[in-house]
Amino acid sequence: MKVKKKILTVLSSTALFVSILAGCSSDSKQYENPVAEQTPEPVTLTLLMDNQSSARMEGIKAVTDVIEKKYNIKTEIETRPGGVEGDNLVKTRLATGDMTDLALYNSGSLLQALNPERSFVDLTNEPYMEKVSDEFKEAVTVNSKVYGIPFATFSAGGWFYNKKVYQELGLSVPKTWEELMANSEKIKAAGKTAVIGTYKDAWTSQVIVLADNYNVITQAPSFPDDFTANKAKMATTPAALRSFEKLEEVNKKGYMNKDFNAIGYEAGLEMLAEGTGVQYPMLSYVLSNFAKLHPDKINDIGFFPQPGDSADKNGMTVWAPDAFYINKNSDHVDAAKKWAEFFVSPEAVELYLSKVPPDGPAAVEDVKLPKDVYPAVKDMLPYFEEDKTAPALEFLSPLKGPNLQQITFEVGGGLKSAKEGAQLYDKDVETQAKQLGLAGW
């Protein structure tokens, strides 16, 4: 039910002070003469990453510029779509032998579908993995082998809200789902959008269901294991079905914007910034993009975990960072390992965070967070510090059906009931479970 304290020592207060790489500015002057550490000949590594990480590019470039000067290793970046389209592209390129040297991709259950033992380099025994948090390593481990290094920080799933509008309407941060719905009713009565919907980017329709996992396992602690073993179903486990019911309720009460099917998540961020939309179920990793698009509004945005039905059991669902993987068929595996080793060094992580403020705690030990973290991140920190967190289901089970976003699109859009959606998802994961050869299926 928590991200272990071993990681969270970096979060002892929201005023953590960091001297971010003293003397290591983006021009990396201290690396003007790094000959001793360079590879004998220049090497160019290719990296495939999703286009939704564009807001983080400045941080990646700062680190890869140092890698180039320090090791004579250049990085060429190629972008791909996000969502199902991007997943299929990654699988196709791996299958055809057309994958880049490095790939940025999900940790957790989606990794299983890529057959990492065949596709990626085993990093289990690399010395630098000792400084990577155990919780992250668990998210990129398949058959006792570790395949990835962390990109960025842990993040959370929950609800962003416009603090100015909350203040204007006299609203308090909800601790229960009933309180959240009461707030939504008042926002709707004030002529504003209570819950921002951005289903043009279908992946955003999943958040209410996925961010509810803390509440699910509070009520049904064995659900992830039972779900994996085919001993429990979404549709017949009341706590899990409740996640779909919450998604259905938002639609039935008319709390979303009328054009929720036609706009994407950046338009949703704009609504949140302007205060025309007041609450947005979302993952915290979009904060860097929000800050890039609306730098003058970032301090207006707060965050709260998705509430359950009891105020006494209020907690937060968290996500491990995405990961960098090394293509097993790369011609430059040794250079890629050197690249990875530097990327997880405290100096590299702190350099990255000096360019892209964190969305949560770091996944590398001995990393200090900047003291000027976003207000929404400060709202998250007490949950980490007080161990009131639980991993998203995809980090507790290898099962995450490929059609979940289509199913939540239909439930959240009023096309199917919560029960129907949960039943469809149970069928969706059945195929995946059999492909993975899981016991009990």
Which of these ranges, 15-24, 41-50, 232-241, 253-262, has the smallest mean pLDDT?
15-24
Query: Which residue in 98, 111, 103, 106 sits closest to 78, CA to CA?
Result: 103
Q: How many helices (H) and strands (E) does the chain have?
A: 19, 13
At the topology level, CATH places domain 18-154+321-370 in: D-Maltodextrin-Binding Protein; domain 2 (3.40.190)
Backbone dihedral angles phi then psi of residue 389, each to the nearest 5 degrees: -135, 155
Alpha-carbon distance 215 to 239, whole Å?
8
Mean pLDDT to the nearest integer, 314-339: 96
**What residue ranges of the chain are covered by domains with CATH 3.40.190.10?**
18-154+321-370, 156-318+394-436
Give the bridge partners for 155, in sequence order.
Answer: 319
Strand 148-150 and strand 155-162: the pairing is unpaired
Residue with tokens 């790939």: 103
Structural contact between residues 46 and 102, judged by C-beta atoms closer than 8 angstroms: yes
| CATH code reported for the domain at 156-318+394-436 | 3.40.190.10
What per-residue confidence (pLDDT) applies to 371?
80
Q: Between these two residues, 19 and 109, which has the higher pLDDT value?
A: 109
pLDDT digits (tens, 9 = 90+) for 250-298: 999 999 999 999 999 999 999 999 999 999 999 998 998 899 999 999 9
CA dihedral defined by 229, 233, 234, 235, rounded to 10 degrees?
Answer: 170
pLDDT digits (tens, 9 = 90+) for 328-361: 999 999 999 999 999 999 999 999 999 988 988 8
Q: Between these two residues, 74 and 35, which has the higher pLDDT value?
A: 74
Mean pLDDT to the nearest integer, 406-412: 98
C-alpha distances in Å from residue 274, one per residue of 163, 268, 406: 11, 10, 29
The tokens describing 9, both together, are 């020592």
Which of these ranges, 64-73, 75-84, 212-221, has the smallest mean pLDDT?
75-84
Structural contact between residues 201 and 81, judged by C-beta atoms closer than 8 angstroms: no
The tokens describing 170, both together, are 């006299």
Strand, helix or coil for residue 441: coil
Mean pLDDT rounded to a whole number for the chain: 90
Which of these ranges, 36-40, 135-139, 312-316, has the smallest mean pLDDT?
36-40
Alpha-carbon distance 231 to 227, whole Å?
6
Could you tell me where the DSSP H helices lie in 103-201? 109-112, 116-119, 134-139, 163-169, 177-189
Structural contact between residues 284 and 373, judged by C-beta atoms closer than 8 angstroms: no
Structural contact between residues 402 and 192, judged by C-beta atoms closer than 8 angstroms: no
Mean pLDDT to the nearest integer, 88-99: 94
Q: What angle do CA 108, 109, 111 make, to 5 degrees?
A: 75
Predicted confidence band of residue 53 (pLDDT cuts 50, 70, 90)? low
